[in-house]
Structure formats: C-alpha cells, structure tokens
Amino acid sequence: MKVGMLTSGGDCAGLNAVMRAIALNLYTNVKNVEIVGFRDGYAGLIRGEAVPMRRADFEGMLRVGGTVLGTTRTPFKLMSVPEADGSTRLAKMVAAYRRLGLDCLFTLGGAGTHRTAALLCAEGCNVIGLPKTIDNDIYGTDVTFGFHTAVDVAADALERVRTTSESHRRTMLVEVMGNKAGWLTLYAGIAGGADVILLPEIPFNLDKVCAAVTQGYAAGKRCIVIAVGEGAALDSEAPFKRRERVFVRTERGETTVTQHLAEVIQERTGAETRATVLGYIQRGGEPSAYDRVLCTRLGSYAAQLCRAGRFGVTVAVSGNRITFNALPDIAGKYKFVDPNGEIVRAAEETGVCFGR
C-alpha cells in the first residue's frame, strides 16, 4: 500500500498528531506500507513533489505543534482555472496522484481543503479527509481537531487580561479569531469569564454593549472584559457583505470592529478602554491533552477506512463516536453558532451580554 498525506490551509495544533496516528495504524496493521508527504499542502501535490517518510519520522510527533510538512492556502476557486500552459491545478494534482501510484491520499484541512478533496474524488482519486480548524466550523462534525487547544489558549489570555484590567480598572476588548463562525470566541469567552461576547452570528448593538459596561461598573466590578470575534458586526452592518463592511470601516479610518468598539465605549461610558488582538498565538504551540486524544482517534479511524477501502469521505465526531461523512455532502458547507442554541442561552442566563 502506498499513501500520501498533506496539510492544507491555516495551521493548527494537532496536525502532526493526526499524521502520526494514521501512520502508526498503517505500519502496525499493513504488512507493506509506503508513506509520502507533500510539502506546503496542495501546492506540493500540484508540483508532484513527494517526500518519502519513515516510521521514525512519526514517532515523536504527538506533541509537536504546527505541521512538519508545511502548509499553504491554495484557493479552491482557482483549481479548475486554466493556467499559462493550458492545464489546471486540478489536472496536475490528478496526474501526480496517478504517476506516484497512490492508493490513498489523506487531506488534513478545513472547509476549503474539503472542497478541493471532493474535486479529486470526482476525478477518481481515493481521498480521505480529516477535519482541521480552530474555527470548529466544518459541517457534519461536532468538533474539529485544534479547536480545543485554541480555546485553552484564548481562555487563558482572557484570564490574564482580566488580572491586569482589574489592577487598572479598565475595560478590555480581546479580539479572537473567527471570521465566519464564532465557536472559538463563544467557548473561550465563557471559559475565560468574559462579561460580553460578540459573535459573527449575532449582530450587536452599540447601545446594548455600552449599557452592559456601565451596569457592570455600577454593580461594583473593577473591570469589564469583552471577547470579540474578528468577524463580529454591528447590527447596522449586518445587511452588508464582508467586503462592504471592510470598505465602510476603512472609510471611517478603522481597521477592525474591535478598534471602533473600543473608541465608542470609552467615549460613551468614560471608562478607560484598551483593545488587544490575540492573533496567531491561537494557532501555535503543542496540542492540548484533549486534542492529542482526539487526533489519535481521528487519525487511527482514517487509517481503518483506508484499509477497508472506504474512500471519498471525511472523518467526523458525532456524540462519543468517530464516524465519517461523504465528502460531496459536506464540502462547501459551514457549521455556525445557533444564536438561540443551548450554550448561548446558558451564557445569557448567567449574565453574559451578546449585544442584542
């Protein structure tokens, strides 16, 4: 058996742990197995540059952050566009797959990665996907690997911000990653004890947020901590597309909604206000113990699917079970926070403001 692996899109903790689990399962249960990796995601497959990998390469990868293969973002929408030589990126990937004689290709990535994986399946390649993203927004799975590690990092940051905010009696806004889906902001906000949580799925009202800040100080709090999803939008911006929102904010001289909100809160409430952006620290570092276990389960199950000849699928978590979905059924779909879901209601009923 000869298989290939690639990691595509944004990096996250757990990519190496998943590859390790796939490899060790195959080495343990298949008499003769050859594994190759593709550098920098689909870009490596397009170039047809396969790197031979040995069992020893995988042994120490359980706790290593990032991805040893490297990754790039290769836009799905460009895969079928003819290039200068007349061929497409998709055609080059299919040709490389066949030239290398692969029996299966494991693709570790998010929504865009799954869409491209579905294209490869349609061209006759045996592909198994694995759901990676700190945004936890892949349709059809309860959780993605890398998500809980990012939650731990963001929640810890919120707690650290709170201690310095209390010392100075400040209002602090912490911007958390998540352009389309607010899962990371929601979980980190609750775990980090945020007073206000602003999500892309729930357009917020400035008056409501400022009132929450004023009421918090009136109740005797020494600081207010606000977790802001980077895709959060004012209710007045809700009808606009993302590009239109960016244009409007640029016209106002702002870079992010967090910056605008910080300025408005200080002006309206008189509370000293600061904003910080967590950025890429949410992606980095070694996976948490939870993610190491999850990655082992997902990777091992993907190897089982390969051994059974079950292709054109992506691994998923459903309740306590590891299962799979057909790639065409989930490719291009996203999972969003339900504004009226149980977890949002639970937070609101414990006093968290969502700006609505």
User: What's the CATH number where 80 sits?
Assistant: 3.40.50.450
- pLDDT for 73: 84
Residue 252 confidence (pLDDT): 62
Q: Tell me, what's the pLDDT at 91?
A: 93
Query: 349 in a domain, yes or no?
Result: no
Which amino acid is located at 31 in the chain? K
Integer angstrom CA distances of residue 5 from 107, 140, 171, 252, 253 = 6, 22, 46, 45, 44
The first and second tokens of residue 197, run together, are: 């949580």
- Kindly state whether residues 142 and 115 are assigned to the same domain: yes
Query: Which stretches of the chain are assigned E, i.e. beta strand?
Result: 2-7, 34-38, 50-53, 104-109, 127-131, 171-176, 196-198, 224-229, 273-277, 313-318, 321-326
Looking at the domain assignment, is residue 83 inside a domain? yes
Q: What is the pLDDT of residue 124?
A: 95
Same domain, 153 and 236: yes
Provide the token pair at 177.
């990653």
202 and 304 both lie in a single domain: no
- Domain residues for the domain of 36 are 2-146+287-330
| Rounded Cα distance, 307 and 348, in Å | 47
Residue 106's pLDDT is 98
For 334, the 3-state DSSP assignment is: strand
What is the set of active-site residues?
A: 135
Closest CA to 227 of 77, 349, 347, 60: 347
In this structure, is residue 323 part of a structural domain?
yes
- Number of structural domains (the chain) is 2
Q: Does a structural domain hold residue 207?
A: yes
User: What pLDDT shows up at residue 242?
Assistant: 67
Answer yes or no: do 297 and 238 share one domain.
no
The answer to the question of residue 336 being in a domain is no
Residue with tokens 């298949």: 30
Q: Quick one: 19 and 110 in the same domain?
A: yes
30, part of any domain: yes
Q: What is the CATH number of the domain that holds 210?
A: 3.40.50.460
CB 38 within 8 A of CB 138: no
Residue-by-residue pLDDT tens, the chain, 356 positions: 999 999 998 899 999 999 999 999 999 999 999 999 999 999 999 999 999 999 999 999 999 999 999 998 888 788 888 888 888 999 999 999 999 999 999 999 999 999 999 999 999 999 999 999 999 999 999 999 999 999 999 999 999 999 999 999 999 999 999 989 999 999 999 999 999 999 999 999 999 999 999 999 999 999 999 999 999 999 887 777 766 666 565 556 666 789 889 999 999 999 999 999 998 999 999 999 999 999 999 999 999 999 999 999 999 999 999 999 999 999 989 999 999 999 999 999 999 999 99
Q: Which residues pair with 196 in a beta bridge?
A: 226, 353
